[in-house]
Structure 1
Amino acid sequence: MKVAVLGAGAIGAYVGAALHRAGAEVHLIARGEHLAAMRRSGVRVLSPRGDFTAHPRATDDPYEVGPVDYVFLGLKANSYAAAGPMIRPLLHETTGIIAAQNGIPWWYFHRLPGPYQGHVIQSVDPGGAVTAALPLERAIGCVVYAATEIEAPGVIRHLEGTRFSIGEPDGSLSPRCTAFSGAMVAGGLKCPVEADLRRDIWIKLMGNIAFNPISALTRATMAGICRHRHTRDLVVTMMRETVEVARRVGCDPAISIERRLAGAERAGEHKTSTLQDLEKGKPLELDVILAAVVELADLTGADVPTLRAIHAVADLLDERVRQDLAATG
């Protein structure tokens, strides 16, 4: 099995190291000091489950890699539309693209029976730009339940969780999913193939849609948001509105809000990825997490006043971050 990890950051390098340990031919595509360190010394994984070092190939040029069986996307979803030139050299006739993203994926309504089959969510796939870069027939969904961070260039700190749920848009238990799952398991990770991955997407999104923008707006950790009575109530309201949208597009997350909130609270003094991006001056990954659900509410007629309000102020914050980034070059 030949796998390219495009965007071999904290999650991508962790997955690549695990697959390499399982015997797959792995190519990490990265840049900067992190790439230089991985070329020099491999990927060092520090984990409560045991430290290890892997030495997959690392490059910044996908043409050096050539066609692969799977592309594992470790990029932020707001980078997908521009990823076409990096993806194309990695594709052969049957290459699968495994998108490890938060929020609503561009393939969400692909092969989903019902009134919205084939519908394009513009906040996720504006003008079909993501579909042009990542063809729908290649898409394999992935919901990540692992937390990692880059502790130093080439060094990945695994904090918790090893589950990477994957699934086909049409719900089939395909040979390509089964094969990739087997390689992940051999590398020490959990990788169930789900017949209804959309349920996992909404369960994770229930937390992301509330904690990510609130953390960016308040600079608070997940535990801090939960401890404060008013923000805790705000999270509950946002989760309720999100579940209503999910049900209107035919998916029942089948988890109580109390249980989902308790799971988030156990994360403790954890900074969400959106807060981390804000602190680094990076654009915020809010389109697929928040704007997409507001757009689906418009599509289905769901009443989501709280989601709309948080989206308005978070979108303004993201606009200012992008302006600052443009001004500093």
Structure 2
Amino acid sequence: MKVAVLGAGAIGAYVGAALHRAGADVHLVARGPHLAAMRRDGVRVLSPRGDFTARAHATDDPGEIGPVDFVFLGLKANSYAACGPLIEPLLHDSTAVVAAQNGIPWWYFHRHGGPYDGLRIESVDPDGAVSAVLAPERAVGCVVYAATELEGPGVVRHLEGTRFSVGEPDRSVSTRCLALSEAMQAGGLKCPVEPALRNDIWLKLLGNISFNPISALARATMRQMCLHGGTRQVIETMMRETLAVAATLGCEVGVSIERRLAGAEKVGDHRTSTLQDLERGKPLELDVLLTAVVELAEITGVEVPTLRTVHAISDLLALRSAA
């Protein structure tokens, strides 16, 4: 199995290292000091499950790699539309694209069935720009339940979780999903093939859609948001509105809001990725987390007043931080 990791940051390099350890032909695409360190020393993974080093091929030129069986996207979703020149050399007729993104993916309604089948979500696929680069039929969905961070160039700190749920948009258990699952498991990761992967998407989104924007607006950690009565109530309301949209689209999360809040509180003084991006002056990834759900609420006729309010304020924050 030949795999290219496009955007070999904390999650991408971790997955690439695991697949390399399992014997896959892995190629990591990165840049800067991180790339230089991986070229020199490989990827060092520091984990409670055991440290290891993977000396996979690393490059900033996908043209060196050629067509692969799987492209694992470790990029932020807001950069997908611009990744055409990077991904094109990696594709052959049957290359699958595994997008390890948060939020609502561009392929969400591809082979969905029902009245929304084939619908394009403008906020995540504006004017079809993402679909033009990443054809939905190539997509294998992936929901990440692993926490990693770059401790330094070429060094990935694995904090917790090893589950990468994968699934086809049409809910089939495909040969390519089974092959990917087998390779990931051989590398020490959990990789169930989930026909109802959209349920997993909404489960993870339940936290991202609420904690991420509020953390950026309040400059607060997970613990601080949960312990403050006002923000906790806002987050709970955002979750309820999100569940209402999910239910209208036929998805069930299967976890209570109280359980989700209790789990978040246990995380402690963790800063969400959105807050970290704000502090580092990076673009805020809000479209796939919040804007998309507001758009889906409009499409399905679900009232989401709190989501709309937080979206409006967060959107202004994103515009001001990008100025």
| TM exceeding 0.5 | yes
Tell me, in whole angstroms, the C-alpha distance in 1 between the residues paired with 2:64 and 2:113: 40
2:299 alignment counterpart: 299
Tell me, in whole angstroms, the C-alpha distance in 2 between the residues paired with 1:64 and 1:266: 44
Tell me, in whole angstroms, the C-alpha distance in 2 between the residues paired with 1:184 and 1:264: 27
Residue 202 of structure 2 is aligned to residue 209 of structure 1: no
Residue 242 of structure 2 is aligned to residue 242 of structure 1: yes
1:196 alignment counterpart: 196
Alpha-carbon displacement from aligned partner over 1:41-99 (angstroms, at most 9, x marks no partner): 00000111111111000000000000000000000000001111111100011100000
SS in 1 for 2:159: strand
1:258 alignment counterpart: 258
1:108 alignment counterpart: 108
Tell me, in whole angstroms, the C-alpha distance in 2 between the residues paired with 1:196 and 1:249: 12
SS in 2 for 1:162: strand
1:6 alignment counterpart: 6
Residue 130 of structure 2 is aligned to residue 154 of structure 1: no
Give the partner amino acid of 2:190: K
1:18 alignment counterpart: 18
Measured after TM superposition, the shift of residue 113 of structure 1 is 1.1
Tell me, in whole angstroms, the C-alpha distance in 2 between the residues paired with 1:264 and 1:76: 23
Measured after TM superposition, the shift of residue 266 of structure 1 is 2.0
Measured after TM superposition, the shift of residue 13 of structure 1 is 0.3
Residue 276 of structure 2 is aligned to residue 276 of structure 1: yes
Alpha-carbon displacement from aligned partner over 1:281-312 (angstroms, at most 9, x marks no partner): 00000000000000001101111000000000
Tell me, in whole angstroms, the C-alpha distance in 2 between the residues paired with 1:185 and 1:170: 23
SS in 1 for 2:220: coil
Alpha-carbon displacement from aligned partner over 1:77-124 (angstroms, at most 9, x marks no partner): 000011111111000111000000000000000001111111100000
Give the partner amino acid of 2:287: D
Tell me, in whole angstroms, the C-alpha distance in 1 between the residues paired with 2:123 and 2:65: 32
Measured after TM superposition, the shift of residue 321 of structure 1 is 1.5
Alpha-carbon displacement from aligned partner over 1:181-228 (angstroms, at most 9, x marks no partner): 111000000010001000000000000000000011111111110011
Tell me, in whole angstroms, the C-alpha distance in 1 between the residues paired with 2:171 and 2:26: 27
Measured after TM superposition, the shift of residue 149 of structure 1 is 0.4
1:44 alignment counterpart: 44
1:178 alignment counterpart: 178
Give the partner amino acid of 1:6: L
Tell me, in whole angstroms, the C-alpha distance in 1 between the residues paired with 2:41 and 2:312: 45
When the two structures are superposed, what TM-score results if normalisation uses the length of structure 1?
A: 0.97
2:90 alignment counterpart: 90
Give the partner amino acid of 2:270: H
Residue 217 of structure 2 is aligned to residue 224 of structure 1: no
Alpha-carbon displacement from aligned partner over 1:15-52 (angstroms, at most 9, x marks no partner): 00000000000000000000000000000001111111
Total equivalences in the alignment: 323
Residue 137 of structure 2 is aligned to residue 132 of structure 1: no
Give the partner amino acid of 1:251: C
Tell me, in whole angstroms, the C-alpha distance in 2 between the residues paired with 1:321 and 1:231: 22
2:322 alignment counterpart: 322
Tell me, in whole angstroms, the C-alpha distance in 2 between the residues paired with 1:194 and 1:60: 33
Tell me, in whole angstroms, the C-alpha distance in 2 between the residues paired with 1:318 and 1:256: 30
Measured after TM superposition, the shift of residue 254 of structure 1 is 2.1
Measured after TM superposition, the shift of residue 252 of structure 1 is 1.8
Give the partner amino acid of 2:193: V
Tell me, in whole angstroms, the C-alpha distance in 2 between the residues paired with 1:30 and 1:320: 28
Residue range with higher mean Cα deviation, 257-266 or 20-29 = 257-266
Measured after TM superposition, the shift of residue 319 of structure 1 is 0.5
Tell me, in whole angstroms, the C-alpha distance in 2 between the residues paired with 1:22 and 1:279: 37
Tell me, in whole angstroms, the C-alpha distance in 2 between the residues paired with 1:223 and 1:191: 29
Tell me, in whole angstroms, the C-alpha distance in 2 between the residues paired with 1:112 and 1:291: 20
Tell me, in whole angstroms, the C-alpha distance in 2 between the residues paired with 1:249 and 1:322: 33
Measured after TM superposition, the shift of residue 262 of structure 1 is 1.7
Structure 2: 5+ residue stretches without partners: none
When the two structures are superposed, what TM-score results if normalisation uses the length of structure 2?
A: 0.99
1:67 alignment counterpart: 67
